Amino acid sequence: MTGIGKNSIQGDIQFADALEKMGAQIEWGDDYVIARRGELNAVDLDFNHIPDAAMTIATTALFAKGTTAIRNVYNWRVKETDRLAAMATELRKVGATVEEGEDFIVITPPTKLIHAAIDTYDDHRMAMCFSLVALSDTPVTINDPKCTSKTFPDYFDKFAQLSR
- Angstrom CA distances, 163 to 30, 53, 78, 94, 104, stand at 27, 20, 32, 20, 30
* pTM assigned to the model: 0.93
Q: Is the pLDDT reported for residue 12 higher than 80? A: no
Q: In terms of domains, do 11 and 51 share one?
A: no
Q: Write the CATH number for 49.
A: 3.65.10.10
Domain assignment of residue 32, given as a range? 1-39
More confident residue, 150 or 73: 73
Please give the tally of structural domains in the chain: 2
Q: In terms of domains, do 158 and 123 share one?
A: yes
Q: What is the mean pLDDT of residues 1-5?
A: 73
Q: In terms of domains, do 126 and 74 share one?
A: yes
Task: State how far the Cα of 101 lies from the Cα of 105, in Å rounded to an integer.
Answer: 6
Q: In terms of domains, do 33 and 81 share one?
A: no
The pLDDT tens digits for 107-133 are 999 999 999 999 999 999 999 999 999
Q: Which residues are catalytic?
A: 52
pLDDT at position 13 is 81
Q: In terms of domains, do 18 and 65 share one?
A: no
> Residue 8: pLDDT band by 50, 70, 90 thresholds?
confident
Q: In terms of domains, do 117 and 58 share one?
A: yes
Q: What is the DSSP letter of 144?
A: S
The pLDDT tens digits for 26-69 are 998 888 889 999 999 999 999 999 998 999 999 999 999 999 99
Q: Cβ-count burial of 78 within 10 angstroms (0-12 exposed, 13-18 middle, 19+ buried)?
A: exposed
Q: Please state, as a whole number, how many other Cβ atoms lie within 10 Å of the Cβ of residue 27.
A: 12
Q: In terms of domains, do 103 and 59 share one?
A: yes
